Chain A
Amino acid sequence: MLNAMAHRIALNLLPRGKDCVNNMLRFNFPSSTNVLQPLQFHERSHNYCSRTTRTLHTGAQLMLAKLLSLDELFTRRSMQDHLKKIESEYTECLNVVNSSVTEKQWSQDKLQAKRTKVSQMTPLIQVIQELDLKQKEMEETEMLMKDEDSALRELAELERDRYLQDIQDLRKKISNLLVPVDKVDLSDLVVEVTAGVGGQEAMLFTAEVFDMYQGFAQHNGWSFDILEQTTTELGGLRHASACISGPQSYMRMKFEGGVHRVQRVPKTEKNSRMHTSTMTVAVLPQPTEISFTINPKDLKIVTMRASGAGGQHVNTTDSAVRIVHLPSGIAVECQQERSQLKNKEKAMKSLRAKLYSIKLEEETSKRNNQRKIQVPEADRKRSGLTTSLKIG
């Protein structure tokens, strides 16, 4: 997630700063696998998971190329300048808002705009100021490290390490806040889970993760509409997808995409051996009707009513719908509902999300080609497994 953030900052600041392009980005394609960025393992809190009692360690996406680390990014002159520019913009807005109380120079609209800007920028400014403070404090501590007293030196070292950690955290926060909102962030999404390597255990893991997302959605007050769910007899989930809708839903779910792996002793294991299994999550933004239309002529829709005369002649309860998008060959199926029409609507939702995702990827790679930058695809698509993972 860390690298994805840095990467996005880079791409988003590109159009603005001419100097940014050449200074900020530096891509090394590793000649050997040793230069891989360290993976970030984040623990999944089990507050959202009603049934599991074990903590899960899941793997984040793997970046195959080396991007600037957080340190490198923040030592760049261009970054420092950018932060200073933000601070001065903030101060200017603040002055306008405060002085207008006495001077009344500005129109209501302009004033409102400045006020909004101030409130939007405040979180970022606060973190920047905190960062400055911490850096000053760290410098003072570093002075103490040269002291004659060894005890004092040791203490100072510990202090310094703590400051370094704080500074890293603040930098991460700033990185997050600097990234402007992508229009895609405002959309709803379709989340797809698929069991990967590991047989039954992987399918149980998939069910747990899907359940967790349902709880997470509920916790955030989002709707969670299951489009498709293929369960196995032993209580697992082969694959499933759901449409999540609500404020900031895509923004908060989008980094869930990728391969997740779990290492634990499975319920079915008799000899208490540790197993590793994986599952994949794909998060697809859900486009609005206007922004993305599918030509009905491109679709082949198949139902159980297809043969014979249909209508009053037949009474079937099989209401499954299968839709094939002929140009791309993508097929979706749904039998979640008793109503054939509802199954068709859910299948269409699924299809739209998939096609939109492909379209977005095409647009992104076109954009990147134009900038003559190679971007690894692990960002959006499901990434590969780590080299350290033993499979099978």
Chain B
Amino acid sequence: MSGSSRGNNPHGLRQIGLDQIWDDLKSGVEHVYERQSMARTRYMELYTHVYNYCTSVHMTQGSRSSAKSKKGQGAGGAQFVGLELYKRLREFLKNYLVDLLQGGQDLMDETVLTFYTKQWEEYQFSSKVLDGVCAYLNRHWVRRECDEGRKDIYDIYSLALVTWRDNLFKALNKQVTNAVLKLIERERHGETINTRLVSGVINCYVALGLNEDDLTAKGPTLSVYKENFESHFLEDTEAFYLRESTEFLRQNPVTEYMKKAEARLSEEQRRVQLYLHESTQDALARVCEKVLIEKHLEIFHSEFQNLLDDDKNDDLGRMYQLVSRIADGLGELKSLLEAHIHYQGNTAIEKCGDSALNDPKIYVQTILDVHKKYNALVMTAFNNDAGFVAALDKACGRFINNNSVTKMANSSSKSPELLARYCDLLLKKSSKNPEEAELEDTLNQVMVVFKYIEDKDVFQKFYSKMLAKRLVQHMSASDDAEASMISKLKQACGFEYTSKLQRMFQDIGVSKDLNERFRKHLALSGEPLDIDFSIQVLSSGSWPFQQSCEFTLPIELERSFHRFTTFYSSQHSGRKLNWLYNMSKGEVVTNCFKNRYTLQASTFQMAVLLQYNTADNYTVQQLQESTEVKQDTLVQVLQILLKSKLLVTDADENELLPTTTLNLFHGYKNKKLRVNINIPMKTEVKQEQETTHKHIEEDRKLLIQAAIVRIMKMRKILKHQQLLGEVLNQLSSRFKPRVPVIKKCIDILIEKEYLERVDGQKDTYSYLA
């Protein structure tokens, strides 16, 4: 295709034959590839050669050169010339590389790497230069060829790469890759290596992954890198770590292994960052995790329990970090943790033994200690992972509601009862009341336990009972603390839960005003009472006190009684006052003993003592008749008076008969001048607890029935299982109803004809309007 150098040139363009320029061009290219520095002028000469060649027009070739292009499209406009030059360049490169190969074929290990990387660097550089020299060719002829769809024509730089790939790379890549892998292995064993050798190879492989289908596509495809390096690398890595981890575990404890695994994982991560391609990061991590962690999961699991037992928080944290990399790896750990916490909680409570049954402080503190410990563990070592938090919650829910104490009491309601009693201790006035901030803190901790209590309605009943007592007896340590606790409960359980408690508060406030007004009224009337008298008026719906019993008020108190009743009815006509004598108290001053004592006594006690104003001895029967106090209550009152040595008897204190005589003990002495004989009666306390529990059971039955009716009214027809589910759901914030109780309630409602079974489907109910 070398056209005539001189000939038809109707357009007056210079005709440049390839041969003319080739020799000089060739020597210039050789110069480039010998890495000798080149003067700018020489560079321009070479460039111009190419330019001239490309722009020269060969008339005869005009049609033929267009026929050469496979698509056969006629060249419209400028005619591009280039194939011949292209072919010669291609030939040159091939020869150059084949020669080069000779020098490296027999090399191994580091030497082959040194060879390869050096040659590659230089080749790349030179090829860039050549590419620049051939810029015109690239921009015109090559581009047109590509646009017309020719697949094997590249820009000169890419041509260089392809030629390298097909010649040098093809021949050497196995040795090179092996050498790289050996180096990496040495580095893993702790040797320092020349990482530039590796990164050089990697860069080469990456660059060779040309997207041959679309040269304009951004970036290489990494196909060469992946096939010729990455896959082997990953295989190697897997084998290496499999060996290492198994061997290490055979000779070392798991805790040490975890440290090593951690170190290896970050080492591999750094390795990629330093001298491998970033796309390998994920695949490498997966491989390492598989071999270092997943393969040994069973060992991890058994070690986990040991670590828990020994409270090795750091190691636990490390294990968490490692195992969390494995999908679903944490499941077993979560179960182990839950079981462990549950066990710890139960054991801790068991250790307290019997004392925890009746000492709320010990009970609650033990629970809090366990919770605090494992809460901290979950937050630090387990990174507050939701699954581990859930395990903690589940375990706490179980051991707080069901433990040796509740078993001893034979009732799951013991827990909320003890918690309520603990609150009472905290909020009651005592000799050692904590500071406000500390109290607030403790109450918050109480709420932590409260959250886990299933039978919240039991807590409410006891709490309100104790609050009522505190309010009525003015025994609250701090009104702010009381209010704070109520608002915490409201936040946790809603308004309805605390509405009665708030009303109780209000009543006390109102009573204060009432007392003021009564005093003013007395003052204005000019007829003062002969005794100091104050009252609390409680709205009966909100307070958990029962009706009072039979009682004859002592004469001395009658006047106050009447004055106040009159006063109150004038203020609030239509309201009925029910006097709770069993909750009232007063002070009596003694004039019959050596010293003048002031006795703080309950009203019942006062009633008995005041009898002795008229005589020195009475029988039990007589006392019963004059006070009208119920027999068993009276006996207890008398026993306390006997214990306090105000009264004496010849008979056995524990067996008081109606005929037993009780005498006033004139020789009464006490170190203090103010004596409190108003101590609660033991049986009263126990009985109260039992009645409270019974009330709770009855309340619950009603709540369950109400819930069933509500649900059935809405759903009209419902299957048995679904009904159970919805009932449990609706009541879960108050307590956990037991299925047998729900079934009994269903039976009751069927009998009362609120529901019926759907005929033919024994486990479907329908609502009867």
Q: Do A and B bind each other?
A: no
